[in-house]
Amino acid sequence: MRVLRRSLAVACSLFLMPGALVFAQFVDANLDYRVTSVGKIRQVITNMGTMDKGRTRYPGLINAEFPPGSDEEHLFQGGIWVGAITATGDTLVSQTEAHFTPHEFYPTRNGWDSIWTGSKGDTLQIPYWPNYECISDQDFVCRYSDYNVLNVDNHTPLYLDITQTVYSWSSGQLSEFLLYKYYITPTKNPLSNVYIAFWMHSSIGSIAASDNFIDEYTRYYRDHKMAVAEDSPGGTDGAAVSPIGFAVMEPTDAASWSFNYYEHEELPGKDPECYAAMASGHIMPDRIERARAHIILGFGPFSLNVGDTLKVEMAEIFGMGLPKLIKNAEYLKFLKSKNFRVPAPPPKPQLRVATTNHEVSLDWTPQPGGVNPELYTDPNRGDTISRPFEGYRLYKSTKGPDGPWTLLADYDVINDEGHNAGLEYTFRDHGLLNNIEYYYGLTSYSRADNVINFPSQETSIAANAATVVPGTSPPATVGEVAVVPNPYRGDVAYNSYNPPWERPAGNRPWWMEQDRRIQFINLPSYCQIKIYTLAGDLVSTLNHEDPERGYEDWNLTSSIGQAIASGIYLFSVEDLNNGNVQVGKFVIIK
């Protein structure tokens, strides 16, 4: 059992003030979310203890995507539960929401109770954790408690503060898992028979599928204290690349472990039922029949006095297939032995872009006073190389800032490692389509550490990605305005072009009617576009105000939100600087 007596005293001091219980009156908590972005996992993190959106305004459709850009979902819900027996004999559980339980963890309304972010080498001045030193390539830090809100039905708090960190890494095997640390502190009453649980409702498969939540296998790996949900072959959700696993890294010496899975209707809802599931000590056999993966992984018991802190570590693990996920779980044991302080990639290079007609120019020359990846040092290496920087890699995508990526160039120092191409700092990409989005990512990478047999580390592509639109500058006035494509044909799959002419909005993977696109090109900086039917009825008005961009998109939807029909349409463009007007027409065929 890992109970830190009176540890994190500073971290908890703001909650332990005499007026701390006033926090229970806060209804307008400062809800926040982030999404991990440096590795291969796109996981939403909230300051409510959830691994889904919780009550935040996270707009995404996917909670746990792996690999990035795949539209492959893995979690519908997930989060931490804490159960205990109070000094008065009550059996209570505070938890993140499941199907029959409410959200019971919330932050305060203080502005600094959002999610703090940083990367290895950063020191964050967090009010409840001064001088926090970042460990991974992307650290998230937040805190929440179970007594910060009113109006949660049938909720009696344990009066817990939880400080949570999430670590993610950018390259190699490290990029396929996340590490969560929870520092759990009772603030009001001593607690006995404390059990911790992780709740998971997996949902593995394409986000566009209708049944990606009912055909999964459920497994438990005793040696890793790990619950795994794996997509079964077939079904409309396709063949998912990765299972998802929750592995408890600390403490591993708890006396009792429980692994239970449920049908939807059988999930526990009341505190005594939830506590019984967490503390059952029952390990259910692996389920290899297709079913929903509703899993509760629990362990304990612990005893906590007021001010004690229980430290819990849990790894969320992915992999290109179940054998790779198991291999990643083994690798985590090595990282744990190193206290997760392992060789790191260099700092990300600073990418600057410029556009012209059908061309993009990229420049990453280190600037005076800026971060120079070539000069970084790494105290966690086992070799004696003082400056382990090795090179730069430039990538390109036509789909989005999460890839898929194509390697354009690899420039490394001449040192008998790698291909010794020599360093370059500029690149010109020719022959591009104007007014179309392209994506570029620039990374830096290190030499391998042959003393501890640790591979080369590379910065995240997506974390340093730039969206670039080549094209010409706006003309002085109207006269050359045109519509493309003209005619627009509804039987053409413009979204399948490479690069796509039409893209789904946000992170929605499927095309919809409102994603149609025509473009008015050669627009002056400040102008107004009016679109009419052939009979002269006004369909829509577009205002263009951009001194850099000479085009404007329209989604073939009227000003009252109706999709337009096939036909011939008229347009007028008025230059708002001088009153000049150009008229024209275009054709829509659906």
Task: Identify which of 163, 168, 171 has the alpha carbon closest to the alpha carbon of residue 127.
Answer: 163
Q: Is the peptide bond before 190 cis (omega within 30 degrees of 0)?
A: no
pLDDT at 210: 60
pLDDT at 150: 63
Which residues lie closer than 8 Å to 465 by C-beta, 6 or more apart? 397, 401, 402, 439, 440, 441
Contact 394, 426 (CB under 8 A): no
pLDDT at 221: 97
CA atoms within 13 A on the CB side of 318: 27
Which residues lie closer than 8 Å to 338 by C-beta, 6 or more apart? 380
Domains and CATH numbers, the chain: 3-337 (2.70.98), 352-468 (2.60.40.10), 482-589 (2.60.40.4070)
Distance CA 589, CA 23 (A): 60
Query: Residue for token digits 């039987």?
Result: 491
Distance CA 275, CA 265 (A): 18
pLDDT at 27: 43
pLDDT at 69: 85
Q: Nearest-5° angle of CA 475, CA 479, CA 483?
A: 90
pLDDT at 19: 32
How many angstroms from the chain centroid is the CA of residue 337?
A: 27
pLDDT by residue for the chain (590 residues), tens only, comes to 444 433 343 344 343 333 333 333 334 579 999 999 999 999 999 999 999 999 999 998 899 999 988 889 999 999 999 999 999 999 999 999 998 999 999 999 999 999 999 988 899 999 999 999 998 889 999 999 999 876 677 789 999 999 999 999 988 889 999 999 999 999 999 999 999 999 999 989 888 776 555 789 999 999 999 999 999 887 777 778 999 999 999 999 999 999 999 998 899 999 999 999 999 999 999 999 988 899 999 999 999 999 999 999 999 999 999 999 999 999 998 888 888 888 889 999 999 999 999 999 999 999 999 999 999 999 989 898 999 999 999 999 998 888 889 999 999 999 878 788 899 999 999 999 999 999 999 999 999 999 988 889 999 898 889 999 999 999 999 999 999 999 999 999 999 999 999 998 877 778 899 999 999 999 999 999 999 999 999 999 999 999 999 999 999 999 998 999 999 999 999 999 999 999 999 999 99
Give 406's strand partners: 396
pLDDT at 212: 53
Instruction: Please say whether the dihedral angle defined by the alpha carbons of residues 93, 316, 341 and 144, taken in this order, is positive or negative.
Output: negative
Distance CA 540, CA 553 (A): 12
Contact 481, 521 (CB under 8 A): yes
Distance CA 528, CA 509 (A): 32
Task: Identify which of 65, 64, 38 has the alpha carbon closest to the alpha carbon of residue 344.
Answer: 38
Task: Identify which of 105, 85, 79 has the alpha carbon closest to the alpha carbon of residue 276.
Answer: 85
Distance CA 197, CA 226 (A): 12
3-state secondary structure of 266: helix
